[in-house]
């Protein structure tokens, strides 16, 4: 997902307070910034929301890559709007994380020096225009699977950010599928591009949900706190069940010879992605890790004089009326 492999933090708080806190969660209460919360809950959420925010921000890069080369002016304006949305989603989430007592600059610096991660999916390149279709359809489609239930998460600011994001995310997936339809019903060359995009993005999209978490202690704690709503396997299954018929509608082939409907479980059987590749990408060895991080660092460094200049100007303006009195 946009937040992968989030380890929940151990909590060493007063057992009585912990029990009261858990009772609030179990009763469906929303936890708000000024409420008492276990340190572990706070730290796990900062990591999870922060990673989610970073993914939205870094996720602008693979799509930004195609803004200048979109095939029509209409596609270009749509893609611009989508990338602008991603920036907005990042900002909603950073604000939610900041209510937990971490500053925006701290979060940014942790992304830039590699202490915090972003989703593995954005370390794959976008090689053709069809990739814009595949990203919207598959990557945003996978993100929605996770974000819709998170609208009911226990932390108020996070849940509210998710409500805004989900409203906008549906546009993203539809515009992606629209591109895929155009390509799949186009010339032979366009169909080849569409199939190639599906081939390259299928398994990385399945990886977004993270490895099977049935034995994970961290997942159990996060689920108890209602900051993780479904298991990784559950969401991955849901994604495949939804997406496989859509691929068939497009006349494209999912690159998995073992994909087949299982009547008994009422879902598809499918192959697992290469988890060694997933861990390798997380370690920084994906096709684009270096490029993505370098680009984020460049933007931050080159924007420094603007951030500081505007701040200095604001301070000067504020000082003037006092001097005149």
Partner 1 sequence: MTKSRTEWPLWEIFIRGQHGMSHRHVGSLHAQDADAAVRNARDVYTRRNEGVSIWVVPSASITASDPDAKGALYEPSHSKVYRHPTFFDIPDDVGHM
Query: What gap in Å lies between CA 248 and CA 324, rounded to an integer?
Result: 72
- Bridge partners of residue 209, in order along the sequence: none
**What distance in Å separates the CA atoms of residue 44 and residue 218, rounded to the nearest whole number?**
10
For residues 280 and 222, the answer to whether their CB atoms sit within 8 Å is no
Q: How far is the CB of 256 from partner 1 (least distance, A)?
A: 37
Q: Which residue has the tokens 């304006």?
A: 77
Which is nearest to 121 in space by CA: 61, 173, 65?
Answer: 61
For the bound state, the minimum distance from the C-beta of residue 188 to partner 1, rounded and expressed in Å, comes to 38
Q: Is 85 in the site for partner 1 (CB under 8 A)?
A: yes
Tell the smallest beta-carbon distance from residue 303 to partner 1 (Å): 11
Residues 259-318 contacting partner 1, CB under 8 A: 304, 307-308, 310-314, 317-318
239/144 Cα distance (integer angstroms): 9
Q: How far is the CB of 323 from partner 1 (least distance, A)?
A: 17
Between 18 and 112, name the residue whose CB sits nearer to partner 1: 112
Q: 109 or 291, CB closer to partner 1?
A: 109
Nearer to partner 1, 161 or 183 (CB): 161
For 147, phi and psi rounded to 5 degrees?
-80, -30
Examine residue 92 and tell whether it contacts partner 1 (CB under 8 A).
yes
Tokens of 269: 């059987």
Build a one-symbol-per-residue string for 111-130: x at contacts with partner 1 by CB under 8 A, - elsewhere. Answer: -xx-----------------
What dihedral angle (degrees, nearest 10) is formed by the CA atoms of 211, 217, 220, 224? -140
Site residues (CB under 8 A) for partner 1, limited to 43-82? 81
Residue 29 CB burial class (10 angstroms; 0-12, 13-18, ≥19): middle
Q: Which of 164, 174, 191, 218 binds partner 1 (CB under 8 A)?
A: 164
| Residue among 26, 39, 105, 274 that touches partner 1 (CB under 8 A) | 105
- For the chain, helix (H) and strand (E) counts, in that order, are 14, 2
Given 95, 127, 166, 259, the residue binding partner 1 (CB under 8 A):
95
Smallest distance, Å, CB 319 to partner 1?
12
Would you list the DSSP string of 95-148?
Answer: HHHHTTT--HHHHHHHHHTTSS---GGGGS---STHHHHHIIIIIIHHHHHHHH
Q: Is there binding between residue 17 and partner 1 (CB under 8 A)?
A: no
By CB under 8 A, residue 14 contacts partner 1: no
| Residue from 104, 152, 265, 298 binding partner 1 (CB under 8 A) | 104
Query: Which of these ranges, 31-39, 137-145, 146-154, 182-190, lies near partner 1 under the rule CB under 8 A?
Result: 31-39
From 22-30, 106-114, 221-229, 273-281, span contacting partner 1 (CB under 8 A): 106-114
User: Would you tell me how many other CB atoms lie within 10 Å of the CB of residue 297?
Assistant: 13
Residue 88 binds partner 1, judged by CB under 8 A: yes
Q: Which positions touch partner 1 (CB under 8 A)?
A: 32, 34-36, 81, 84-85, 88, 91-92, 95, 98, 103-105, 109, 112-113, 160-161, 164, 168, 304, 307-308, 310-314, 317-318
């Amino acid at each position: 997902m946009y937040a992968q492999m989030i380890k929940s933090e151990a909590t060493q708080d007063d057992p009585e307070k912990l029990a009261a806190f858990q009772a609030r969660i179990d009763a469906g209460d929303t936890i708000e910034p000024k409420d008492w919360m276990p340190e572990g809950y706070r730290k796990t959420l900062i990591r999870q929301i922060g990673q989610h925010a970073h993914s939205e921000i870094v996720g602008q890069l693979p799509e930004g890559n195609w803004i200048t080369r979109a095939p029509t002016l209409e596609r270009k304006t749509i893609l611009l709007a989508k990338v602008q949305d991603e920036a907005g989603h990042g900002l909603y989430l950073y604000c939610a994380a900041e209510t937990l007592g971490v500053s925006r600059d701290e979060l940014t610096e942790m992304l830039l020096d590699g202490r915090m991660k972003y989703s593995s999916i954005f370390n794959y390149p976008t090689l053709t225009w069809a990739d814009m279709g595949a990203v919207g359809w598959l990557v945003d489609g996978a993100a929605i699977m996770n974000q819709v239930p998170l609208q009911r998460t226990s932390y108020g600011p996070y849940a509210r950010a998710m409500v805004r994001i989900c409203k906008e995310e549906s546009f993203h997936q539809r515009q992606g599928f629209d591109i895929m339809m155009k390509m799949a019903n186009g010339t032979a060359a366009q169909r080849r591009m569409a199939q190639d995009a599906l081939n390259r993005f299928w398994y990385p999209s399945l990886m977004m949900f993270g490895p099977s978490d049935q034995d994970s202690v961290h997942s159990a704690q996060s689920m108890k706190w209602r900051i993780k709503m479904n298991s990784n396997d559950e969401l991955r299954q849901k994604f495949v069940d939804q997406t496989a018929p859509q691929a068939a509608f497009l006349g494209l082939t999912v690159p998995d010879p073992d994909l087949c409907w299982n009547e008994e479980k009422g879902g598809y059987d499918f192959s697992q992605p290469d988890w060694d590749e997933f861990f390798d990408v997380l370690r920084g060895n994906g096709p684009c890790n270096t490029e993505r991080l370098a680009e984020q660092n460049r933007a931050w460094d080159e924007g420094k004089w603007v951030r500081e200049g505007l701040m200095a100007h604001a301070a000067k303006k504020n000082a003037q009326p006092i001097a005149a009195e």
